[in-house]
Amino acid sequence: MKGLPTERYPRSSPRLQKKKERLFLILILCLPLLFVSPVSPAAQDYGDRDIISLSGTEDILSKLKGLSLDFLMEWKGRVYIVASPTDLVRLQERNIPYVLESDRFYRRLFSETAAQTSLNGAFHSYAETERELMTLAQDHPLIARVVDLGDSLEGRNIYALKISRNVHLDENKPAMLITGCHHAREWISVEVALLFCRHLLENDALNADIKALIDSGEVWVVPVVNPDGLEYSIHSYRYWRKNRRNNGTASFGVDLNRNYGHMWGYDEVGSSSDPDSEVYRGTGAFSEPESQAIRDLFSRRDFRALISYHSYSQVILYPWGYKHDPSVDEGLLAGLARQMADLMRPVNGRDYGVERAGDGFYLTNGDTTDWAYGEYGVPAYTIELPPVDQLYGGFFNSEADIQSIFAENLPAMLFLLNWTVSDSGSDLPFRSDSPKTDTKRKPAKIKSPRR
Ligand code: 0X9
Ligand code: ZN
């Protein structure tokens, strides 16, 4: 399969199929609205059509000759086409990259879900994230410290905020990691991570439970794992997903959530060896500085839990992702996830699904959570933030929803942090059942710091 630029799910996934069916339904409803202008071919049946865009370069345009496509418009160097399923197959056969735009059109028609007033509105850019982290550390110098984990490909800093009592001492307390923005277009993941920092810091003096967590544990938050991608998504192309690696084949980007070193490249279903694919895994495990930064941080501290924030789907996912089978820690991983979902539901009434990633969702290999669980034996969760699907805005969260999405995630993060610093977090055995790691199985985690 050749990965399409906006694909979130492998084509074989039943979930993708369902989403595509829904999208078609939306299109059926929306297309008449798109073609109400006097110049539009109003009488045509667009029920099975997608709107796609192609780069308007000579090279691409010359490849389109003889395809008799239905051109919709040209805008900002891209050519927009109303494509039939047959057109899509022909484009794929000719290796012509295209972007599925239908949901963007949908969003414009029902734009009350996305209220951004500027390019990134209330969502943080790289520079705004940097400023926010510096401000938080300045305002709470004894319990917050900005740590530069290394440079992105384009030379931006990959920042972590460490939150802990005596933050400048290397006490190596039990730690939890929160990451955001592995995927550039998933802006809401940055906000949840940043608001968590603010919440902990501002409540240290007000709330005895939070104070106790800051006393006994370390929280590490990396709000933007993929700063180059985030900036590209803000300034060039909102749908950008990967980092900005120049793959040398006129294609850019490695999917950072396929670049981690546990079962990396296990098969062509859960990731792709094709640099054009949206799930391109890179040339080797940890080939990218952004995933290296997380790997190196993890190796230096006593991490006992991880939440990697993504969007969208409103679901909590746990390993394994690279295969359908459960891990030997299925009970623990699922149990903690269910408790998190139970704590989240009452906040706004939103139900987060709980699924084993490779079973209910779809297969991935080289993702962050398989790696953290597979190599370190710690509970590791991907939380796909709202909305539940494209009907409610997909990657385009409303600014007005930022606070409520954070608020419902807060109890889950606090719960896992409590678990991290508690006895249960300290004696989690390393029980990965993966063939690769069986040979280097580590002893059960102990209460004293490991490093
Ligand atoms: O595909 C991903 O990397 C994540 N979804 S997203 O839409 N945010 O790109 C999900 C990763 C979770 N792992 C598995 N589904 N196996
Ligand atoms: Zn993602």
Say whether pLDDT at 376 is over 60.
Answer: yes
Sorted by where each begins, the domain ranges of the chain are 47-114, 126-426
CATH number, domain 47-114, options 2.30.30, 1.10.3470, 1.20.120, 3.30.70: 3.30.70
The residue whose CA has the least distance to atom 4 of ligand 1 is 310
The residue whose CA has the least distance to atom 10 of ligand 1 is 382
| Contact yes or no for 403/385 (Cβ under 8 A) | no
Structure tokens at 138: 């300045």
pLDDT of residue 47: 54
Share of the chain above pLDDT 90, in %: 65
282 C-alpha to ligand 2 centroid (Å): 16
Mean pLDDT of the chain: 83
**Across the chain, which distance is largest between two alpha carbons, in Å?**
73
Structure tokens at 395: 């990657």
Q: How confident is the model at residue 430 (pLDDT cuts 50, 70, 90)?
A: very low
295 C-alpha to ligand 1 centroid (Å): 18
Where does ligand 1 bind, in terms of residues with CB under 6 Å?
A: 8, 183, 186, 257, 310, 317, 321, 357-358, 361-364, 367, 382, 384
> In this structure, what is the dihedral angle of CA atoms 113, 47, 78, 249, given to the nearest 10 degrees?
100
280 C-alpha to ligand 2 centroid (Å): 13
Residues in the chain: 451
CA dihedral for 210, 211, 216, 222, sign (positive or negative): positive
Q: Could you tell which of 257, 307, 370 is best to mutate to test the pocket of ligand 1, judged by most ligand atoms within 8 Å of the CB?
A: 257
Mean pLDDT, residues 200-210: 98
pTM of the model: 0.75
Say whether pLDDT at 431 is over 60.
Answer: no
- Output the CA angle 106-19-308, nearest 5 degrees: 95
Tens-digit pLDDT profile for residues 224-242: 999 999 999 999 999 999 9
Q: Please tell me which residue in 132, 290, 384, 408 is annotated as part of the active site.
A: 384
Rounded to whole angstroms, how far apart are CA atoms 442 and 185? 37
* Ligand positioned closest to the Cα atom of 317: 1
pLDDT of residue 15: 45
Mean pLDDT, residues 415-439: 65
Q: DSSP code of 256?
A: G
Tens-digit pLDDT profile for residues 53-106: 888 888 888 888 777 776 666 677 888 777 777 788 888 878 888 887 776 555
* Ligand positioned closest to the Cα atom of 359: 1
DSSP string, 37-73: STTS-TTS--TT-EEEEEE--HHHHHHTTTS--EEEE
Q: Could you tell which of 267, 384, 389 is best to mutate to test the pocket of ligand 1, judged by most ligand atoms within 8 Å of the CB?
A: 384
Say whether pLDDT at 108 is over 90.
Answer: no
Say whether pLDDT at 52 is over 80.
Answer: yes
351 C-alpha to ligand 2 centroid (Å): 19
Instruction: Choose the weakest-confidence range: 10-14, 159-163, 182-186, 414-418.
Output: 10-14
Is 58 a residue of the active site? no
Q: How many helices (H) and strands (E) does the chain have?
A: 14, 12
* Ligand positioned closest to the Cα atom of 258: 1
pLDDT of residue 428: 56
Ligand 1, atom nearest to 257 Cα: 3
pLDDT of residue 367: 98
Mean pLDDT, residues 218-223: 98
Report the candidate in 411, 385, 367 with the shortest Cα–Cα distance to residue 315.
Answer: 385
Structure tokens at 351: 């139900």
**Beta-bridge mates of residue 443:** none
**Beta-bridge mates of residue 358:** none
Cite the DSSP H helix spans in 289-329: 289-300
Ligand 1, atom nearest to 363 Cα: 16
Common-topology check for domains 47-114 and 126-426: no
Mean pLDDT, residues 172-177: 97
Say whether pLDDT at 334 is over 70.
Answer: yes
Mean pLDDT, residues 334-355: 98
CATH number, domain 126-426, options 2.40.50.140, 2.170.120.12, 3.40.50.11240, 3.40.630.10: 3.40.630.10
The residue whose CA has the least distance to atom 15 of ligand 1 is 357
Q: For helices 368-376 and 289-300, what crossing angle results, to 10°? A: 30
Say whether pLDDT at 372 is over 50.
Answer: yes
pLDDT of residue 210: 98
Q: Could you tell which of 7, 8, 190 is best to mutate to test the pocket of ligand 1, judged by most ligand atoms within 8 Å of the CB?
A: 8
Report the candidate in 176, 122, 150, 105 with the shortest Cα–Cα distance to residue 390.
Answer: 105
421 C-alpha to ligand 2 centroid (Å): 27
Mean pLDDT, residues 255-275: 97
pLDDT of residue 17: 43
**Beta-bridge mates of residue 162:** 145, 220
205 C-alpha to ligand 1 centroid (Å): 37
Share of the chain above pLDDT 70, in %: 78
